[in-house]
């Protein structure tokens, strides 16, 4: 039994308190400035209003200004549960606490950054910023794989991947979190795993185009649009493999839980799919966002907005072959350039 | 424009008449002994009662005893649209017509046989039986990839794979069938493509277990079971790759349309998923079949029943590593050995 801090009280950060608490850890759930109502509710009666479950009694809620006080010497693990746009804030906030060292970090945040001019996965962003604050040697691991937060919070059987280059770190982390419903596979291909974790949101949005196209295409037999959705699913897998390989990861990482498994679960609903459907109807992104999902963080769209400009030089210089990423470019066209969707099926599956 | 025979008037065989007719071919749709009501309806008013669409006027219906008469000299292509259990019948029937040669065959039937004591894909079964009737040199190609018949019949955008070892044959076939909604990718890895086409039914049944398990597991927040479904989806991809490689196919074939794309679409509903759900509830297969789906052909279950006995010696001799196929063995346990499902998550993703 030990003390664990979770930074970020959104659905996924908070759901991680289940396997932690079930392993006997005491969890200090520290909300960001957006999570105050959640923290209040958890402290009132243990109820998490967005997960819609009662958290274990050993989980206590805290506000972000209390982070310094919560990060006592006996904290053995910090789980980073902020949104992708919050990672820099989290890293800077931890850095400014001026600790000589930090306990291991486990990141559940997914995304990619082009802040340095190159594509960068979030564990590397975290390590880089901590280094700028003279914090070195902190293991920064990450969770990926198919895991809907609400299902983990309901203790559904969930199989995930923990990734870090050091098998010893992975072994220790898995021991802290493994339960009879939370199944952890160690994976040392950090680049492959994290590329999958980020890209699956963008591609789930793309697969969602098909259901939006359906709304414009009545059929005598009420046929759905699973064929085009599946074509885009297959194309997404090919593009993810190409991008993982480009970044120096192992394309085989896309085969199992981190790639095909996680893309599958992300296509079964959720905000990326909803936005994809709106875009598939032919709506420009700006209108879809403003009119239908103004308060939602849509990770696939946020990723596109974050990386599109940074990827342009890679296409222009030929380092990345644009012809092998037609579906990604369609997402850029709709989300970043705000143009109505137009698919060219001949571009896919080359 | 030419004459084409489709043998088998079920949903997929009949749906193939759409791209054929739209390419100007005259289609002779020849039903099996199970299709008489369909042929009658098509000849009455062009309506296909199971596809729930009107077929083009250049499609004519014929009964199976008329096959010999329909196979005139000017027929340039035969599409084989029978069920997997009907392939031997189709091959024998064609063989007994005592033609010196046959026009190219395009098989849409999916499955595997162990009739020879070894796993055998259906184009090879067809070629072998035709050879026994002294018909040699007939190109036997196959269609695979994500394609729900009712969606093709509604001219939804559908991306499929045509497979044959000879690129020239593939090029000619694609020219006969390509339309603005039917997108054809040639693929020379016949073994990989056909293994995927058969196995995806078995694995879609397995992914369906999760929704059945849901019915036994209420949750405070009404959580679904997408996490376990996704874990099994990822496991299925790994097992398909292993089996494709074992058979001498290219594991990369599983990445795009024939593997991940087709498994995705097959998991979105249909008979395999429905049976998987019943088994996931804990029902033995015999009961699920007899009580809930007595008249349905469940391709994933039929495949398991067809190959389980033939695969046993492969496991026993160590030629196949049973530890790398835990999900397939669960399907064998439930369907073939009629035992209630029991999943061991620790077996997966190794």
ipTM at complex level: 0.95
Write down the pTM of the prediction.
Answer: 0.96
CA A167, A169, A26, A90 torsion: positive or negative? negative
Contact A231 B157 (CB under 8 A): yes
3-state secondary structure of B55: coil
CA B121 to chain centre: 11
| pLDDT of residue B12 exceeding 80 | yes
In this complex, how many residue pairs, one in chain A and one in chain B, have their CB atoms less than 8 Å apart? 215
**Phi, psi at residue A9, to the nearest 5°?**
-110, 25
Min distance B301 CA to chain A CA atoms (Å): 22
Task: Measure the CA–CA gap between A69 and B291, rounded to whole angstroms.
Answer: 62
Contact B260 A237 (CB under 8 A): yes
| pLDDT of residue B1 exceeding 80 | no
pLDDT on residue A269: 86
Task: Measure the CA–CA gap between B207 and B222, rounded to whole angstroms.
Answer: 20
3-state secondary structure of B281: coil
Mutation target to probe the B interface, by most B beta carbons within 10 A, among A230, A263, A267, A268 is A230
The token duo for A182 is 């939370």
Angstrom CA distances, A106 to A34, A52, A79, stand at: 21, 24, 5
Section B176-197 average pLDDT: 97
Task: Measure the CA–CA gap between A86 and A342, rounded to whole angstroms.
Answer: 33
Q: What is the mean pLDDT of chain B?
A: 96
Contact B155, B18 (CB under 8 A): yes
Contact A255 B234 (CB under 8 A): yes
Q: Which residues of A are catalytically annotated?
A: 200
Residue B79 — pLDDT band, cuts 50, 70, 90? very high
Task: Measure the CA–CA gap between A293 and A311, rounded to whole angstroms.
Answer: 26
Going by C-alpha positions, the residue among B39, B118, B136, B22 that lies closest to residue B81 is B39
Angstrom CA distances, B228 to B96, B231, B325, stand at: 49, 5, 17
Question: CB within 8 A of B88, min separation 6: which ones?
Answer: B113, B115, B125, B129
| pLDDT of residue A207 exceeding 80 | yes
Residue A169 — pLDDT band, cuts 50, 70, 90? very high
Angstrom CA distances, B138 to A275, B68, B126, B316, stand at: 49, 17, 10, 37
| pLDDT of residue B205 exceeding 80 | yes
Angstrom CA distances, A193 to B88, B144, B279, stand at: 45, 29, 32
pLDDT on residue B332: 97
Contacts of B153 in chain A (CB under 8 A): 221, 223
Contacts of B186 in chain A (CB under 8 A): none
Superfamily the domain A3-188 falls into? NAD(P)-binding Rossmann-like Domain (3.40.50.720)
The token duo for A322 is 């644009």
Considering just the CA atoms, what is the radius of gyration of chain B in Å?
Answer: 20
> From edge to edge, which strands make up the β-sheet containing B182-187?
B59-62, B26-30, B3-7, B75-80, B105-107, B140-144, B158-163, B182-187
C-beta neighbour count of A47 within 10 angstroms: 15
Residue B269 — pLDDT band, cuts 50, 70, 90? confident
Residue B215 — pLDDT band, cuts 50, 70, 90? confident
**Phi, psi at residue B191, to the nearest 5°?**
-60, -50
Contact A61, A44 (CB under 8 A): no
| pLDDT of residue B350 exceeding 80 | no
| pLDDT of residue A1 exceeding 80 | no
Residue A102 — pLDDT band, cuts 50, 70, 90? very high
pLDDT on residue B54: 98
Section A33-53 average pLDDT: 97
% pLDDT > 90, chain B: 94
Angstrom CA distances, B110 to B33, B199, B209, B274, B293, stand at: 19, 9, 22, 19, 20
Contact B227 A154 (CB under 8 A): no
Angstrom CA distances, B295 to A5, B50, B266, stand at: 56, 14, 20
Contacts of A152 in chain B (CB under 8 A): 227
Note the helical H segments in chain A.
Answer: 11-15, 17-22, 36-45, 67-70, 87-96, 122-132, 149-153, 167-177, 190-214, 226-246, 262-266, 271-280, 285-292, 299-316, 326-331
Task: Measure the CA–CA gap between A14 and A108, rounded to whole angstroms.
Answer: 11
The token duo for B73 is 């000299």
Section A61-67 average pLDDT: 97
Section A68-81 average pLDDT: 97
When CB atoms are compared, the residue of A213, A219, A343 closest to B154 is: A219
Contact A220 B346 (CB under 8 A): no
The boundaries of every CATH 3.40.50.720 domain in chain A are 3-188
User: Catalytic annotation on B200?
Assistant: yes
C-beta neighbour count of B205 within 10 angstroms: 31
Query: How deeply is A43 buried, as exposed, middle or buried, from its count of CB atoms within 10 A (0-12, 13-18, 19+)?
Result: middle
Q: What is the mean pLDDT of chain A?
A: 96
Residue B140 — pLDDT band, cuts 50, 70, 90? very high
Q: pLDDT (tens digit, 9 = 90+) per residue, A295-317?
A: 999 999 999 999 999 999 999 99
Residue among B110, B200, B241, B330 flagged as catalytic? B200
Contact A18, A40 (CB under 8 A): no
Q: A156 to chain B: nearest residue by CA?
A: B225
The boundaries of every CATH 1.10.1040.10 domain in chain A are 191-347
Query: How deeply is B317 buried, as exposed, middle or buried, from its count of CB atoms within 10 A (0-12, 13-18, 19+)?
Result: exposed
Q: pLDDT (tens digit, 9 = 90+) per residue, B279-291?
A: 999 999 999 999 9
pLDDT on residue A39: 98
| pLDDT of residue B331 exceeding 90 | yes
When CB atoms are compared, the residue of A223, A237, A349 closest to B151 is: A223
Tokens 């077929």 sit on residue:
B55
Contact B156 A219 (CB under 8 A): yes
Contact A118, A99 (CB under 8 A): no
CATH topology of domain B191-347: 1.10.1040
Tokens 């010196």 sit on residue:
B100
pLDDT on residue B214: 85
pLDDT on residue A349: 86
pLDDT on residue A117: 87
Contact B293, A274 (CB under 8 A): no
Angstrom CA distances, B76 to B28, B72, B106, stand at: 12, 9, 11
pLDDT on residue B231: 97
**Phi, psi at residue B297, to the nearest 5°?**
-85, 120
Residue B85 — pLDDT band, cuts 50, 70, 90? confident
Contact A145, A161 (CB under 8 A): yes
């Amino acid at each position: 039994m030990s003390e664990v801090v979770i930074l970020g009280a959104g659905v996924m950060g908070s759901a991680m308190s289940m396997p932690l608490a079930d392993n006997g850890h005491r969890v200090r759930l520290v909300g960001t400035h957006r999570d105050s109502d959640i923290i209040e509710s958890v402290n009132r009666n243990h109820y998490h209003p967005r997960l819609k479950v009662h958290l274990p009694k050993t989980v206590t809620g805290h506000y972000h200004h209390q982070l310094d006080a919560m990060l006592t010497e006996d904290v053995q693990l910090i789980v980073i549960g902020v949104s992708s746009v919050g990672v820099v804030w989290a890293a800077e906030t931890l850095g400014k606490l001026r600790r000589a060292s930090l306990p291991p970090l486990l990141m559940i945040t997914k995304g990619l950054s082009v802040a340095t001019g190159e594509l960068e996965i979030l564990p590397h962003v975290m390590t880089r910023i901590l280094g700028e604050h003279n914090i070195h040697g902190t293991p920064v691991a990450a969770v990926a794989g198919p895991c809907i937060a609400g299902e983990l919070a309901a203790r559904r059987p969930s199989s995930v991947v923990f990734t870090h280059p050091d098998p010893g770190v992975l072994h220790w982390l898995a021991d802290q979190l493994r339960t009879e419903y939370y199944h952890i596979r160690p994976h040392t291909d950090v680049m492959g795993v994290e590329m999958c974790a980020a890209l699956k949101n963008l591609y789930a949005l793309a697969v969602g185009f098909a259901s939006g196209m359906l709304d414009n295409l009545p059929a005598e037999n009420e046929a759905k649009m699973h064929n085009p959705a599946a074509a885009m699913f297959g194309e997404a897998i090919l593009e993810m493999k190409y991008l993982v390989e480009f970044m120096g990861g192992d394309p085989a990482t896309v085969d199992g839980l981190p790639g095909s498994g996680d893309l599958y679960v992300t296509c079964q609903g959720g905000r990326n799919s909803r936005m994809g459907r709106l875009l598939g109807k032919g709506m420009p992104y700006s209108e879809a966002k403003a009119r239908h999902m103004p308060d939602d963080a849509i990770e696939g769209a946020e990723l596109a907005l974050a990386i599109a400009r940074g990827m342009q030089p890679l296409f222009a210089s030929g380092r990345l072959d644009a012809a092998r990423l037609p579906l990604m470019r369609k997402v850029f066209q709709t989300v970043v350039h705000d143009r109505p969707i137009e698919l060219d099926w001949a571009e896919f599956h080359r």
